Chain A
Amino acid sequence: MLQTIQLTVEWLSVLLILLGALLSVFSAFGMIRLPDVYLRSHAATKSSTLGVLCVLTGVFLYFASVMQTASMNILLGIVFFFITAPVAGHLNGRAAYRTGVPLWTGSVRDELAEAVQEAGASEPQPPGPEDSSMVQPGKVSSEEHPIQPSRSEQAGLQESTVEDQHGRSDGEKG
């Protein structure tokens, strides 16, 4: 009976580890394929965190069943990753927005720029880099023309959604 339980927990832990590794692979796939810093940080933060949590839980269960040792280090690591990964993703996304990393041209809405405009000039905009090749995302959303595609590699991804973007943004403004 005990043997059966132990074997079941062992298989469960190995399957959890495999699931976590697969999630990490999906996360890396998103890192490669998604067109934008903000979309990429979606892949990097969400699925990579879930993958690592699955892997660490599986390793914890594996050691609990195989070696009969409950490793407090792994528990601490689970809590630590659960707390810090979203924080790091948020900090990176905010830094990217404030330094003026352009949005993907298929983005239909920039709610942060609208909120900044509504707040008015009471809070001065943090100064971006004096680099004319980088477009401030906050300024772009109020203009008529979308950002020119800066990376030719994404031409295939962009063409499919540019018309869609025009239609939807007109609808939202009207």
Chain B
Amino acid sequence: MMQTLLLLAMILLALAISGCLYRVLKGPSIADRIAALDTIGVNVAAEVAVAGAYTRSTAYFELVLLIGILAFLGTVALARYMERGRVLDAPDDSTDG
């Protein structure tokens, strides 16, 4: 019974990822796609955590952290690139943050 419910949760998360994928493909502006990609990363991390609970294996948990960190860094890098045209600031023009 609990395995079935966990499977249902995984299916729901997959649905959420598909919905965000629609926004990535459709989104009129780049910011839409970045927000949708961030949501996809977060949802994939949750999906991996539920998969770890479903298979009762602790081997997936490092992956949760790793996907979370990668999604966050990717979002920050993309947003900064969209805003300023570069990702890393040169040391002399770090006035606005």
Cβ-defined partner of B35 (8 Å) among A25, A41, A55, A62 = A41
Distance, CA A123 to CA B62, complexed state (A): 45
Cβ of B4 to closest chain A Cβ, rounded Å:
10
A99: which B residues are within 8 A, CB to CB? 30-31, 82-83
How far apart are the CA atoms of A17 and B8 in the complex, in Å?
Answer: 10
**B19→A29 contact, CB < 8 A:** yes
Question: Could you write out 6 A-B pairs with CB less than 8 Å apart?
Answer: A10-B2, A40-B32, A71-B58, A93-B31, A94-B79, A99-B83
**Smallest CB–CB gap between B87 and chain A, Å?**
12
Contact status A55-B32, CB under 8 Å: no
Within 8 Å CB of A56, what residues of B?
46, 49, 64
Return B66 CB to nearest CB of chain A, in Å: 10
- Give the chain A neighbours of B52 by CB distance below 8 A: 59
CA–CA, A96 and B34, complex, Å:
10
Q: Out of B16, B22, B32, B83, which one reaches A21, CB within 8 Å?
A: B16
A21 touches B68 (CB 8 A): no
Alpha-carbon distance A75/B8, docked complex (angstroms) = 24
Chain A positions within 8 Å of B, measured between CB atoms, are 10-11, 14, 17-18, 20-22, 24-25, 27-29, 31-32, 37, 40-41, 44, 48-49, 51-52, 55-56, 58-59, 62-63, 66-67, 69, 71, 73-74, 76-77, 80-81, 84-85, 87-89, 91-96, 98-99, 101, 150-151
In the bound complex, how far is the Cα of B72 from the Cα of A75, in angstroms? 17
Known pairs A10-B2, A71-B61; A95 contacts B31 (CB<8 A): yes
Q: Are B65 and A21 in contact (CB under 8 A)?
A: no
Q: Using Cβ atoms and an 8 Å threshold, which residues of chain B touch A84?
A: 68, 72
A27 and B6: CB pair below 8 A?
Answer: no
Number of B residues, CB within 8 Å of A:
50
One digit per residue, 1 when the CB lies within 8 angstroms of any chain A CB and 0 when it does not, for chain B 69-89 equals: 101100110011011000000
Given the interface contacts A71-B58, A76-B65, does A55 sit within 8 Å of B19 by beta carbon? no
- Are B79 and A91 within 8 A (Cβ)? yes
Give Cα A109–Cα B69 distance, bound, in whole angstroms.
35
Contact between B45 and A92 (Cβ–Cβ < 8 Å)?
no
- Given A21-B9, A91-B75, decide whether A28 and B42 contact each other with a Cβ distance below 8 A: no
Given A14-B9, A22-B12, 6 other A-B residues pairs in contact with their CB atoms under 8 A: A10-B2, A25-B13, A25-B16, A28-B16, A31-B19, A81-B42
Q: Are A32 and B19 in contact (CB under 8 A)?
A: yes
Residues from chain A with a CB closer than 8 A to the CB of B72 are: 80, 84-85, 87-88
